[in-house]
Amino acid sequence: MPRSESLWTGTVDPAQYPPLDADARADVCVVGAGIAGLTTAYLLAREGRSVVLLDDGRPGAGQTGVTTAHLSYEIDDSYVTMVRLHGAEGARQAYHSHRAAIDRIEAIAQLEGIDCDFQRVSGYLFPADRHGAREIDEELEAAKTAGVTVQRLDAAPVKGFYSGACLHFPRQGQFHPLKYLNGLAAAFARLGGRLHTGTRVTAVTGGTPATVQTTGGQTVTASAAVIATNVPFNDRLVIHTKQAPYHTYVIGARVAPGAITHALYWDTDDPYHYVRLHRVTKAQLGGDNQDAVDILIVGGEDHKAGQAQDAEQRFAKLDVWMREKFPAAREVEFRWSGQVMETQDGLAFIGRNPMDEENVYVATGDSGMGLTHGTIAGILLTDLIAGRANPWADLYDPSRIRTGAAAEFVKENLNVALQYASWLTGGEVASVDEIPPNSGAVLREGLTKVAVFRDEAGELHRRSAVCTHLGCIVAWNPAASTWDCPCHGSRFDPMGKVISGPAKSDLADAEKG
């Protein structure tokens, strides 16, 4: 049976730092130690700022620990979309910013001596079916309009996979995200940065000074605050109407080393498949020697978060697709899933938090490219906090409105509105007897709904199923063992404890909720 964890958490332990136990003062307080928060904190510290970085868990405990770690300037939402929504100049800036992010990760790894398996690899976009060839030609045209370095090939010159006609993006990157984060955290600490894990933040208030409050009762005061919690918890609506949570699935299968060329591979399907390889040792997989093994990482099968509960079928479909395209794949060692925030115009929101004080900044809306977007956030927010001009500021401005994205805005917000109808429907199961151990389901009880989790010992744990953000009904996510909100992406552990916002508080007691 494959391990239900990512290749990254399965091979590296995220670093741990002491929790914040007293009030503190800093130039900047950053909340969230994923790639966005850590890069921002590190770059600010490099410029001599005093920085306090707070995280509820450990660095990488969020989505950076379950990524697939493609570092690419081929935009997930395509250059066709970039040119249509952001114009040729916007598409050009998107290209430059993502390319600069890959360069910056490589430079930081070199400067700080971070052994994170960083590797330059080619990226190939290949057709999912016979219609895909046309999409590839359109993407080539749009990419050229944006000035992207790209070429069309009859087939990718690789071992172990036949792509057909494809686009080649040279000098992309890949790395081990947790090795990188651990190294970045250590470098931040060497620069005098103060990182506190196990510290949950409940409120951020802008002003002079900005204040950041924790569940432990401590307050950090700072000249500026950055919210890099993947989904911001201090915004009730402005950003949440402009992005939507999607759940995505990954499997990692053994491959003989060298049987498939290390590269980034994507198809044109919707949702698309994303593929890469990572080399580990047999010992890291529980074996007794240091022989090399390649893990073929295959992702896809995305759906709107909280709106599907067929994880087994999705993993099975990925497996079938992988074996058809990559016949060298052997047994699946890892399988995992995670959440991405899709913005209506395909780019992240990085900058001043809309309708907040001037000194509160946000990084969110990863759009499936959160490693490069998170690194762009570090570069851009450091400039904004220092009062320097940055050419990408308008492109990523969280307050931006792109009129061409109106249809996507209406579609996603209609979808959110429809979720409230689940207040009126029945439960996922009629009785708790239908809930197997280590699983959960939502039940109707009179006028409300209850989220019931049955633990391994068979004991039932009941919480209100009403999301504490804006009242949608959560759904059980069997792949990640979480309660996921279908509206704006809040997630709760099986006992109802909030893992990620925008909800700030845990699911209520079932008897009171």
**Interface contacts to ligand FAD, rule CB under 6 A:** 31-37, 54-57, 61-64, 66-70, 200-201, 228-230, 233, 248, 250, 299, 338-340, 366, 368-372, 374, 500-501
CB under 5 to 8 A by kind: which of ligand FES, ligand FAD, none does 55 bind? ligand FAD
CB under 5 to 8 A by kind: which of ligand FES, ligand FAD, none does 472 bind? ligand FES
Per DSSP, the three-state class of 78 is coil
Q: Which is nearer to ligand FAD, 93 or 229 (CB)?
A: 229
CB 59 → ligand FAD: shortest distance, Å? Answer: 7
The CA distance from 353 to 213, in Å, is 18
The CA distance from 192 to 266, in Å, is 40
Sign of the torsion formed by the C-alpha atoms of 333, 337, 342 and 347: negative
Q: Which is nearer to ligand FES, 330 or 504 (CB)?
A: 504
The CA distance from 374 to 228, in Å, is 9
CB 211 → ligand FAD: shortest distance, Å? Answer: 14
The CA distance from 67 to 421, in Å, is 32
Using the contact rule CB under 6 A, the part of the chain among 70-78, 84-92, 106-114, 486-494 near ligand FES is 486-494
The CA distance from 4 to 251, in Å, is 10
Distance between start and end Cα atoms, the chain: 38
Type of residue found at 485 = C
CB under 5 to 8 A by kind: which of ligand FAD, ligand FES, none does 469 bind? ligand FES
CB 465 → ligand FES: shortest distance, Å? Answer: 11
Among 397, 470, 478, 508, binds ligand FES (CB under 6 A): 470
HEC assignment per residue over 276-344: EEEEEEHHHHCCCCCCEEEEEEEEEEEEECCCCCCHHHHHHHHHHHHHHHCCCCCCEEEEEEEEEEEEC
The CA distance from 490 to 484, in Å, is 6
Question: Does position 304 bind ligand FES by CB under 6 A?
Answer: no
Residue of closest CB approach to ligand FAD: 370
CB under 5 to 8 A by kind: which of ligand FAD, ligand FES, none does 500 bind? ligand FAD
Among 176, 373, 449, 488, binds ligand FES (CB under 6 A): 488
Using the contact rule CB under 6 A, the part of the chain among 15-23, 178-186, 268-276, 467-475 near ligand FES is 467-475
Question: Does position 368 bind ligand FES by CB under 6 A?
Answer: no
Interior angle at CA 417, CA 415 and CA 419, nearest 5:
75
Q: Which is nearer to ligand FAD, 70 or 400 (CB)?
A: 70
CB under 5 to 8 A by kind: which of ligand FAD, ligand FES, none does 34 bind? ligand FAD
CB under 5 to 8 A by kind: which of ligand FAD, ligand FES, none does 35 bind? ligand FAD
CB under 5 to 8 A by kind: which of ligand FAD, ligand FES, none does 490 bind? ligand FES
CB 468 → ligand FES: shortest distance, Å? Answer: 8
| DSSP E strand stretches across 42-177 | 51-54, 70-71, 119-126, 151-153, 166-174
Among 244, 442, 487, 510, binds ligand FES (CB under 6 A): 487
Among 33, 297, 362, 467, binds ligand FES (CB under 6 A): 467
The CA distance from 341 to 362, in Å, is 14
Give the CA count within 13 Å in the CB-facing half-sphere of 241. 15
Type of residue found at 12 = V
Per the structure block, which two tokens stand in for 442? 């939502």
The CA distance from 513 to 498, in Å, is 15
Question: Does position 125 bind ligand FES by CB under 6 A?
Answer: no
CB under 5 to 8 A by kind: which of ligand FAD, ligand FES, none does 212 bind? none
CB under 5 to 8 A by kind: which of ligand FAD, ligand FES, none does 299 bind? ligand FAD
Per the structure block, which two tokens stand in for 228? 């890099």
CB 130 → ligand FAD: shortest distance, Å? Answer: 27
Q: Which is nearer to ligand FES, 153 or 470 (CB)?
A: 470
Among 64, 81, 182, 490, binds ligand FES (CB under 6 A): 490
Question: What is the gyration radius of the CA atoms in the chain, in angstroms?
Answer: 22
Per the structure block, which two tokens stand in for 272? 């698309």
**271: preceding bond cis by omega (within 30 degrees):** yes
Burial class (CB in 10 A: 0-12, 13-18, 19+), 284: middle
Contact between 119 and 59 (Cβ < 8 Å):
no
Q: Which is nearer to ligand FES, 26 or 362 (CB)?
A: 362
CB under 5 to 8 A by kind: which of ligand FAD, ligand FES, none does 443 bind? none
CB under 5 to 8 A by kind: which of ligand FES, ligand FAD, none does 340 bind? ligand FAD
The CA distance from 265 to 262, in Å, is 9
Site for ligand FES, rule CB under 6 A? 467, 469-472, 485, 487-490, 502-503
